[in-house]
Amino acid sequence: MRVTLKHISDDTGLSIATVSRILNRKRRRYSENEEKIYASARKLGYPFFTNADENGQVSIALVMKLFEGEFYASLMNGFYKASENSTSDIVFSYVSEQNNNYVDDILRLSKKHSGICLFLPSMTNNDYLKIKEEVGRYPIISLLPSKNPKIDTVCFDSYRGGYMLAKHFQEQGYKKFGYISGPPNRADAIFRKNGFFDHIHENDDLELVWSFDGNFTSVLGKAAFSDYNNAGLENVAIFGGNDYSCFGFMKAAIESGYKIPDDFIIGGFDNISFCENFTPELTSIATDFRALGEKSIRIIENMITDNSESFGNISMIPVNIKIRNSSTPKR
């Protein structure tokens, strides 16, 4: 059904003339009637919200928390490069680290941009549901896997990455495996763990001998090494969950006299550039942020063109393994 001004008029109880006047203003005034009309238009899927601005330009917001670090720089750079092949503008938007109620921030941004890509690891399924209820057919996707069937997702194949790393460790002749987990509320961390564990469980001669609850930081990577060292283990192949955890673990191990990869081997996830600058160089699952950006932009633009709605579709971006010295002991 094509949504018209009359549908919005019937939904809000305001006249067609009022609806038309407010939706055709060049600048928002944020009056009570205006807010009511905009909310109705989103709910019903009126195409005003999936078109360009008054200058004819489509803008897509990449929404994330304001973090320092190479991972987030790589994410932004990937979207920037992806936008070179698109007519859409990419705008980087940040929400406060102190504010864990993202819904209001995202609704505010939806009034300014043609579509939104979310990278907010702390968002819950309830947050996604609230946003979807408010924006209706407005183009919005998540860049992290979630269990929400209402929001389309574009994300890296974390499960495959964990599985590939375990297989690589096995090919190096290792039988004993260890794992540093990521945040328990992050689906990508869970998928990495599941892929790693599944390969172990598929092979009777492999064994998980150690694990540690981490959070994707070098600080807990150091704490993980202390736990590993106290366990008195030897010749273990360790998946650090991500690169930062590995760096913390390796630094603490080297300071304690361990030699890598002679005493243990280790691999991470994300393949940030520091993997090549650390000694030894870190084996890692490589992610293609430009491909993530290109796929995300294409999906948003298709939603805009077709005035279509998210139905919880998942698009996986392939990953590969970059093998370096940290996981290739001399034989």
Tens of pLDDT, residue by residue over 5-15, are: 888 889 999 98
Three-class secondary structure assignment of 147-186: CCCCCEEEEECHHHHHHHHHHHHHHCCCCEEEEECCCCCC
pTM, two decimals, is 0.82
Q: Are 266 and 326 a contacting pair, CB within 8 Å? A: yes
Residue 211 lies in a domain: yes
pLDDT at 318 over 50: yes
How does DSSP classify residue 308?
Answer: -
Residue 311 lies in a domain: no
pLDDT at 228 over 70: yes
pLDDT at 49 over 80: no
Residue 53 lies in a domain: no
Q: What number of residues does the chain have?
A: 331
SS3 120: coil
What are the tokens at 204? 């009777």
Q: Pick the closest to residue 301 from 111, 113, 37, 81 (CA basis).
A: 113
For the segment 313-330, the average pLDDT, to the nearest whole number, is: 94
Q: Are 264 and 235 a contacting pair, CB within 8 Å? A: yes
Q: Are 208 and 177 a contacting pair, CB within 8 Å? A: yes
Residue, of 41 and 318, whose pLDDT is higher = 318
Residue 167 lies in a domain: yes
pLDDT digits (tens, 9 = 90+) for 185-224: 889 999 999 999 999 999 999 999 999 999 999 999 999 9
Complete DSSP assignment for 184-236: TT-HHHHHHHHHHHHHHHT-TT-EEEEEE---SSHHHHHHHHHHHHHHT--S-
In sequence order, which ranges of the chain are alpha helices (DSSP H)? 5-12, 16-23, 32-44, 70-82, 102-110, 125-135, 158-171, 187-201, 218-231, 243-255, 289-306
SS3 317: strand
Q: What is each CA distance from 241 to 7, 245, 251, 306, in whole angstroms?
A: 50, 7, 16, 39
Instruction: For CA atoms 293, 295, 301, 307, give the dihedral sign.
Output: negative
Q: Are 41 and 50 a contacting pair, CB within 8 Å? A: no
For residue 133, the tally of other CB atoms under 10 A from its CB is 12
Determine the pLDDT at residue 29. Answer: 64
Q: What is each CA distance from 234 to 5, 37, 228, 229, 258, in whole angstroms?
A: 70, 65, 10, 9, 11
SS3 141: strand
Determine the pLDDT at residue 233. Answer: 96
Total count of domains within the chain:
2
Q: How confident is the model at residue 156 (pLDDT cuts 50, 70, 90)?
A: very high
Residue 239 lies in a domain: yes
Residue 74 lies in a domain: no
What are the tokens at 17? 């003339």
Residue 113 lies in a domain: no
pLDDT digits (tens, 9 = 90+) for 262-310: 999 999 999 999 999 999 999 999 999 999 999 999 999 888 777 666 6
Residue-number span of the structural domain to which 18 is assigned: 1-44
Q: Pick the closest to residue 124 from 105, 147, 140 (CA basis).
A: 147
How does DSSP classify residue 26?
Answer: S
CA atoms of 227 and 215, how far apart (whole Å):
15
Instruction: For CA atoms 159, 74, 286, 233, give the dihedral sign.
Output: negative
CA atoms of 148 and 142, how far apart (whole Å):
10
Q: What is each CA distance from 198 to 95, 178, 201, in whole angstroms?
A: 36, 13, 5
Residue 98 lies in a domain: no
State the residue for tokens 């600058």.
Answer: 277
The CATH code of the domain that includes 205 is: 3.40.50.2300
Q: What is each CA distance from 258 to 30, 46, 223, 251, in whole angstroms?
A: 62, 62, 15, 10
